[in-house]
Structure 1
């Protein structure tokens, strides 16, 4: 089955720095790089490199930054036929990365704010629809309900954390959040911030990523925790996007959620060992090799 990703696409300006700047603090760093990024594009590239047939739907500007933003999607073979070109500037992010791989990110949405659910072609029954929160929330809500009506499987990565009405969340096949996003949502739902608590509140499958502590999930059938793969961390930018994209690719091939999570964790451990976001996503062969 295919994976359709509705989401953001950015040009990332990445600055290696000895330490992340504090308020009012100027830090001199190394040579900066302009690379493709954006949560939606990163996840689409990760899924495509893992072997999925991927269609990316989003919006860019008519400016030179669009070529940078789209370069990894094109190289990965993603279908861009539903991409919109707008008069707004292409989305961009400024990313500082310290010597321990930690990051600090500022994002200008630009054209991403003009991405619309109506751009998404009809979804095949059983297909995966993957979304994040760097496009307008109302467009995600429309797509979630449309996906269910068309028999597709809507998956939302609640990143960055923002509110969606509970009936949209309850229509998901799977909600993915990191531990900070899970805590944010749990505070608003009045439940515990772990996967079991969020599942009880929403009634849908939940996956919570825990960084170096792995990830946990809760479904109607079971609850489980998987560990993280050992990794030499160079840059954590896009690690969560790698996890989501590879998970979606595995699910599109019919893998059970637990097996898909193991594969996503292996791929993410490769991604964090490299600089950059979309450019750091591993191939299926690399992930297969690590998993043995």
Structure 2
């Protein structure tokens, strides 16, 4: 089957500004762009561009924004046969980016709230599938699909982004739970443990990876602890770099790379993505290969 992503798909309205606005402040910029986005779609595009056979299940509306939202998925030849079309508007995000690549993001879920686990049939959840989940669609549907996939033998990767409550049974259903620093802190507080990969993994009884931006990423599994430094680059836009990391990690694991090698590849792809505009600026596999060969 390859990589199957269940998650959000948005149209991103990206504003490049001289500074990020504070409360009640209006900041004028020179222009804006409408780009594909949404954590689920971004991760599916990243996996597909890295060479994985990739399918996506989610929901869009019957509006012009749907074409923007789906453009990168279609260009990457992601299987969209499990896509639902609803009467709600397509999800949309407003993204402000400053000259240092930092961002502020507001998201309207729209049709993403209508995504359902039932869009993914049992036959797609066998041992040959790597299922990748995030938190921008209903939590109950994420939990249901994670538990069903684990029971049927699929590899389950859960990106706890943005952080939100899930039943512990769903968290434990993941072979690898992925969180950034803020999400790890939220989860650690909820579980009553420290926000590092090792204590989180011990509390849940499953593998955990924590991404830390320029400080790299760490992971803890039954096989031990790992640390992957970030690759230094001149950052233009960090939007979606974490999604790129997750998608490429899923693709690498799906084709049999060990976790350490998959994390190194994910770090390289995310570094490349930071040098480009937009949340779906993930590199092609050959670009990541060349980047790693030079280091």
Pairwise TM-score range, normalised by the shorter structure: over 0.9
Alignment match, 2:63: 63
1:229-269 Cα distance to aligned partner (Å, 9 max, x none):
11110000000000000000000001111110000000000
Partner of 1:285: 286
- Alpha-carbon distance in structure 1 between the residues aligned to 2:111 and 2:22: 29
2:160 aligned residue: 158
1:124 CA drift (Å) = 2.6
Give me the whole-angstrom Cα distance separating, in 1, the residues matched to 2:155 and 2:227. Answer: 23
User: Any idea what the Cα deviations from partners look like across 1:7-47, whole Å, max 9, x if unmatched?
Assistant: 00000000000000000100000211000000000000000
RMSD between aligned alpha carbons? 0.7
Superposition pairs for residues 217-232 of structure 1, below 5 Å?
Answer: 217-232=219-234
Give the TM-score of the pair, scaled to structure 2.
Answer: 0.98
Q: How does 1:1-292 map to 2 (within 5 A)?
A: 2-121=2-121, 122=123, 123-278=125-280, 280-292=281-293
Q: Using the TM superposition, give the Cα deviation of residue 167 of structure 1 relative to its aligned residue in structure 2, in angstroms.
A: 1.3
Q: What count of residue pairs does the alignment treat as equivalent?
A: 291
Distance in structure 2 (CA, Å) of the matches to 1:51 and 1:88: 32
Output the TM-score relative to the length of structure 1.
Answer: 0.99
SS at match of 1:32: strand
What is the deviation of 1:126? Answer: 3.2
Secondary structure of 2:4's counterpart equals strand
Distance 2:233 2:56 in 1: 29
Residue by residue over 1:28-74, the C-alpha shift from the partner in whole angstroms, topping out at 9 and shown as x without a partner, is: 00211000000000000000000000000000000000000000000
Can you give the 5+ residue segments of structure 2 that lack an aligned partner in the other structure? none
Q: d(CA) in 2 for partners of 1:11 and 1:44?
A: 15
CA distance in 1, matches of 2:4, 2:120: 8
Give the distance between the partners of 2:224 and 2:160, measured in 1 at CA: 22
Q: Deviations over 1:151-207 (max 9, x none)?
A: 101110000000111111111111000011000000010011000010110010000
Q: Distance in 2 between matches of 1:67 and 1:221?
A: 43
Partners of 2:113 and 2:173 in 1: how far apart? Answer: 23
The 4+ residue runs of structure 1 with deviation greater than 3 A are none
